[in-house]
Amino acid sequence: MDTRVTVISDTHWRHDELDLPAGDLLIHCGDMFDLFSRSPLRLSRMDAWFRRQPFETILYTGGNHDRELEAAAAHRAQPLKHARFLRGETVEVRGLKIFGAPWVPDLARHAFFQDRPSLARSWAQIPPRLDILVTHTPPQGILDRSRGGQSHGCAALAAELPRIAPRVHCFGHVHASAGQHRIGDTLFINASSIESGTGSIRPPMTFTLQS
């Protein structure tokens, strides 16, 4: 069975500017909000937007800007009604095995931060042979370069990738490295939706995966 997947990330409250094609699965890789707002009202507005999107299933994880989400998730496992939050768990969608987690390195004052020992433990729990891996952070060295050429990916995540061997790894976080890159049997997608520097909205990333 073919599954039509659309991936977005780092929309930073500009999701209404996106033009999404209809499909089977929508994935948001985090940073729905911006760092300086913590209004719980925006969660319900985000949920309403997800409800309007033409997809059978919607999955999302958090990002370092998503303080509203982090606060809500401390009280209930699923903060939204119309999309499923992935916080270190595996789900199956149309026969596809998907794992998602929001953890980010280095940004101790941001949402979903974990220190390096905690990241190593968290990534070690990801099951192998996934169809889709969803994280907010890139792995170190893959689509993780800033406009200044600095690497902002997670070394602990990169260390686990040979074991996990996902068919597709979706993430965002580093806007300047948006795009796709295949290494071996894994397609890596940095789905950052806002272009670094110009602030322009990029088209969503789409692909089809057979289960």
Query: Which CATH number does the domain housing residue 16 bear?
Result: 3.60.21.10
Give yes or no for residue 153 having a pLDDT over 80: yes
Write down the pLDDT at residue 180.
97
Three-state secondary-structure class, residue 210: strand
pLDDT over 80 at 13, yes or no: yes
Mean pLDDT (whole number) for 104-132: 94
Q: What value does the mean pLDDT take over residues 163-171? A: 98
Tokens found for residue 111: 């949402």
Q: Pick from 94, 100, 103: which is nearest to 126 by CA?
A: 100
Which of 36-62 are b and which e, b meaning 16 or more Cβ less than 10 Å from the residue's Cβ? eeeeeebbeebeebbeebebebbbbbb
Give the count of domains, the chain.
1
Out of 23-27, 94-98, 195-199, pick the least confident. 195-199
Domain span at 106: 2-210
pLDDT for 35 equals 77
Mean pLDDT of 76-104: 97
The H or E element spanning position 182 is strand 179-183
CA 129 – CA 191 distance, rounded (Å): 22
Q: What is the predicted pLDDT for the residue at 145?
A: 95
Supply the angle between the helices 116-124 and 155-164 in degrees, to the nearest 10. 10
* 38-64 pLDDT, tens digit each: 677 899 999 999 999 999 999 999 999
